């Protein structure tokens, strides 16, 4: 099969230009702002864990302190967020296919910030939870839509490098919570300081970037494509190889649609397309009837739920480890993800997607099992193995985003990935409960995590290898030719 790359087809060079790199950086900033509300419960409502059963991290004043919450009630700080993502998160993403990526990205960032302010000013815990629910409702959009905008505005060969930028931004947002919490040691201050910049960012993004190039091409918005290209030429020092005089854009699209079925399916922006006329329900039912797709989907759902659970379970309890400084423990649990962001693409391109996913889950399982046999008194060894487990689950998480976009037929890809992402929130919602179990037996919690990760490693054997689809270009290309179902 041939590659389908609207960015290259329209005449953009096969590299980062100053303008496309600028887009990548600006749009990736949202991952800093998205990581903060997702991970902030580690400070504002830290789960009870095996090391500590306390609602306070140093001098930080938590929602548990202010509203005198029980451990069970406090867990809703995390659950409300992921419940919002579970119930509402896919709506703005689906809307971006109709009205465009940019308006959805703008309003998602804006309402995420406003929801954080609502939570910060909440007079009681229940209003606070409403703010958390609304933050979670826009989590999927603030992460996925901005990533899609970059993928649709830079060549396929640069998606892997773009994913590294986004990964670094996530780690930055993850780690920056600790110094902010030290400088602003109350939960209300923390929410205000981290929410107001998100509102400002929404307007900065609105006025500094254009709509996704591929979206404009596919929708045949000739004038907007011309404006996009002119901006890239003006600020990026590039010369596009195609002219748009005299309706050449439509001619280009028609020529591309005539070349192959894969291009016809990609470039067909007409409302008369039979695929577009089919409802989401019809495509979902068709995917469920295809045995191969259904098997891949069920396995993927299990792995997404497991990785959400283990990742959040380790992240949110990092401040409660009874070793060392809780702030440094939290920062280290974020910094250990940086090697994963850089090493994983190389590993997947070297030994294959499936082997990498198997190894990352197996490494996570082995590290978690080992923790059960290391006494807390052996602080250095315990922390090394704990960080190895965090590295493993972070690697597994990154791998699922890359691998998951390749194993489904292009007809069902958005539907299947949407189902996986949505149901993965169930694992995140369960994380506080497993952390609470750790008060009585941390070994039991780590053993549960290890068993679930080990099953993921075994199930991945039944998924296809997809490296051959990208054998001539770097990893991370999410708009790849589909595997025939």
Is residue 57 in some structural domain?
yes
Residue 445 phi, psi dihedral angles, 5° rounding: -65, -50
Q: Per-residue confidence at 55, pLDDT binned at 50, 70, 90?
A: very low
Q: Residue 51's pLDDT band (boundaries 50, 70, 90)? A: very low
How many Å from the N-terminal Cα to the C-terminal Cα in the chain? 14
* DSSP category for residue 75: T
- Distance of alpha carbon 172 from alpha carbon 166, whole angstroms: 10
Domain with residue 299: its CATH number is: 1.20.1250.20
In this prediction, residue 14 carries a pLDDT of: 59
Q: Is 408 part of any domain?
A: yes
Alpha helices for 247-336 (secondary structure H): 248-259, 261-267, 274-277, 280-289, 291-316, 326-335
pLDDT of residue 31: 93
Whether 1 maps to a domain, the answer reads no
Sign of CA dihedral 369, 372, 378, 383: positive
C-alpha radius of gyration, the chain, whole number: 23
Q: In this structure, what token pair is assigned to residue 315?
A: 């992240």
- Helix 280-289 × helix 413-437 angle, to 10°: 80
Residue 256 falls inside a structural domain: yes
Overall domain count for the chain:
1
Mind listing the pLDDT tens digit for each residue in 199-221?
A: 999 999 999 888 888 778 777 77
Q: Give domain status of residue 160, yes or no.
A: yes
> Model confidence over 383-442: pLDDT tens digits?
899 999 999 998 888 888 777 767 776 566 667 777 888 888 899 888 877 766 655 567
Domain boundaries, position 133: 6-470
Of the given ranges (70-84, 103-117, 216-230, 301-315), which has the lowest mean pLDDT? 216-230
Domain-located, residue 479: no
pLDDT at 13 over 80: no
Residue 272: helix, strand or coil by DSSP? coil
**In whole angstroms, how far apart are CA 346 and each of 28, 38, 165, 229?**
21, 28, 15, 32
Residue 356 has pLDDT above 60, yes or no: yes
């Amino acid at each position: 099969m041939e590659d389908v790359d609207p960015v290259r087809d329209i005449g953009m060079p096969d590299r980062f230009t100053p303008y496309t790199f600028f887009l990548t950086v600006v749009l990736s900033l949202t991952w800093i702002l998205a990581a903060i509300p997702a991970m902030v419960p580690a400070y504002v409502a830290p789960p009870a864990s095996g090391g500590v059963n306390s609602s306070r991290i140093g001098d930080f004043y938590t929602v548990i302190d202010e509203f005198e919450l029980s451990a069970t009630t406090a867990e809703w700080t995390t659950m409300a967020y992921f419940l919002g993502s579970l119930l509402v998160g896919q709506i703005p993403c689906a809307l971006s296919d109709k009205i465009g990526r940019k308006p959805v990205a703008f309003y998602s960032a804006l309402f995420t910030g406003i929801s954080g302010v609502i939570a910060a000013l909440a007079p009681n815990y229940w209003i606070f939870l409403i703010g958390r629910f609304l933050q979670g409702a826009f989590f999927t959009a603030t992460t996925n839509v901005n990533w899609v905008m970059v993928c649709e505005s830079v060549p396929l060969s640069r998606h892997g490098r773009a994913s590294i930028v986004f990964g670094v931004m996530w780690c930055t947002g993850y780690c920056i919570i600790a110094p902010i919490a030290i400088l602003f040691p109350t939960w209300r201050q923390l929410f205000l300081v981290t929410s107001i910049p998100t509102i400002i960012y929404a307007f900065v993004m609105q006025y500094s970037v254009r709509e996704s190039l591929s979206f404009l091409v596919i929708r045949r918005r000739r004038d907007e494509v011309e404006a996009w290209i002119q901006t890239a030429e003006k600020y990026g020092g590039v010369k596009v190889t195609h002219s748009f005089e005299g309706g050449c854009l439509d001619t280009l699209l028609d020529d591309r649609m005539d070349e192959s079925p894969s291009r016809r399916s990609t470039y067909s922006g007409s409302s008369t397309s039979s695929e577009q006329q089919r409802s989401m329900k019809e495509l979902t039912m068709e995917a469920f009837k295809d045995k191969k797709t259904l098997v891949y989907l069920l396995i993927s759902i299990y792995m997404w739920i497991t990785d959400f659970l283990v990742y959040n379970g380790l992240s949110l309890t990092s401040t409660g480890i009874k070793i060392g400084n809780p702030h440094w423990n939290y920062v280290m649990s974020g910094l250990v993800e940086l090697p994963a962001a850089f090493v994983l693409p190389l590993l997947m391109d070297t030994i294959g997607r499936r082997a990498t996913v198997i190894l990352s889950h197996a490494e996570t399982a082995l590290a978690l099992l080992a923790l059960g046999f290391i006494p807390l008194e052996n602080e250095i060894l315990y922390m090394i193995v704990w960080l190895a487990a965090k590295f493993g689950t972070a690697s597994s998480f990154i791998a699922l985003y890359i691998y998951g976009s390749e194993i489904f037929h292009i007809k069902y890809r958005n539907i299947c990935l949407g189902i996986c992402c949505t149901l993965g929130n169930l694992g995140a919602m369960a994380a506080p409960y497993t952390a609470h179990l750790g008060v009585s037996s941390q070994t039991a919690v780590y053993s549960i995590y290890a068993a679930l990760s080990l099953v993921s490693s075994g199930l991945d054997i039944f998924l296809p290898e997809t490296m051959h689809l990208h054998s001539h270009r770097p990893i991370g290309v999410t708009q790849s030719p589909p595997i025939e179902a």
